[in-house]
Homo-oligomer: A and B are copies of this chain.
Amino acid sequence: MPCQSFDYSSIGFNNNSGEIYGDRRKKVAIVGGGNWGSAIACVVGKTVKAQSDVFQPTVNMWCRDSRKPGDTSSSIADIINYTHENPKYLPGRRIPENVIATSSLRDACESAHILILVVPHQGIPQICSELRGKLQEGAHAVSLTKGISSTSENGVVKMQLISEDIEKALGVECSVLMGANLAGEVADGKFCEATIGCKSLENGEELKTLFDTPNFRIRVTTDYEAVELCGALKNIVACAAGFADGLGWAYNVKSAIIRLGLLETKKFVEHFYPSSVGHTYFESCGVADLITTCYGGRNRKVAEAFIKSDKSLQVVEQELLKGQSAQGPPTAQDVFEMLEIHNLTEKFPIFTSVHKVFVGEHGETELYDSLRNHPEYD
């Protein structure tokens, strides 16, 4: 890999990226170059090219430069621009040439009409505060990030959706895209589905145009809170599934975990967002994503290894995920805190027990009892 910097002058950012004067076509930027960000770049790179009357032909992608001072290797952005591949997070998949990576957040996103956010949720406040006021007027965002956050007002802890954080920090409307989407399979162009949850159907339909392909089928719903919470909470259920795998609990139990986990997700949404509608659990973001994650996702994998060893979660993550993290454990902690404040832990025994296994308060017996004695059977 050459260690000189990529010559960005050859491609141009902002208003030079294939744009013509008075261009009304939408400019798309991706914030995040992990495995899911790189996979979605494979999709979006192709869709904007195929719809050059609607979208500007170049997609910018911001990749955090994680080199330490004195590190003379190339940045991940440079590597992507030279090789059209992300060897760290998505090796072996070709990122289209009209996707241009950069380590500069502002270069990537300035004047964008559509911002695709796909970064760990801990990084979102900083990113949004840097970008506030820099997007195109009338711009909107879509979050692919899974997790929840919480705020404390006058000592009262309140749960918040990541998309709400983004809307507040960025001052634009934020939709979500969630679904049964293992990154490698999406990048390979294998068939799969996703769900867009939006506030305004106009933005939702525009995002469908951006993401939908013959092999990546999108459905749009305005039940955005349920869509986002399905995406976040499924990672807790996947940890329970991983524990079950690690403990050798076989098929019937794992299916019961997935079903009861789906019902806890539904009950959680109905409690905290009572205006939500019911069909969303049958969408890709609901039952399909849950199954994929409980069989093939990284949270399942980490939880299985955690319960089978004496290693800490941090060590297990380092060994298995090559610098990425599993979102299930922190989401389980956030959810547990919310449930405790609202005196609801007994109604959500799987969510509760997953957190307690990770912090060492529950073992195999308590986890098993959280299933056998589930309030669904009352």
Size range of the chain A interface in the assembly: 35 or more
Cβ of A288 and Cβ of B190 under 8 Å apart? no
A372 touches B214 (CB 8 A): yes
Q: How far is the CB of A226 from chain B (nearest CB, A)?
A: 14
Report the Cα distance A217→B375, complex, angstroms. Answer: 11
Q: Which of A188-216 contact B (CB under 8 A)?
A: 190-193, 214-215
A215 — nearest CB in chain B belongs to which residue? Answer: B372
Q: Do A192 and B296 touch across chains, with their CB atoms under 8 A apart? A: no
- A371 lies within 8 A of chain B by Cβ: yes
Within 8 Å of chain B (Cβ to Cβ): is A376? yes
Q: How far is the CA of A256 from the CA of B371 in the complex (A)?
A: 26
A185 at the interface (CB under 8 A from B): yes
Cβ 8 A contact of A252, one of B190, B259, B281: B190
The answer to the question of A292 belonging to the interface, with a C-beta cut-off of 8 Å to chain B, is: yes
Partner of A377, one of B219, B281, B282: B219
A182 at the interface (CB under 8 A from B): yes
Chain B nearest Cβ from A179, distance in angstroms: 8
Residues facing B in A331-377 (CB within 8 A) are 368, 371-372, 374, 376-377
Q: Which residues of B contact A286 (CB under 8 A)?
A: 259
- A289 on interface, CB distance cutoff 8 Å: yes
Q: Which of B219, B252, B266, B287 contacts A191 (CB 8 A)?
A: B252
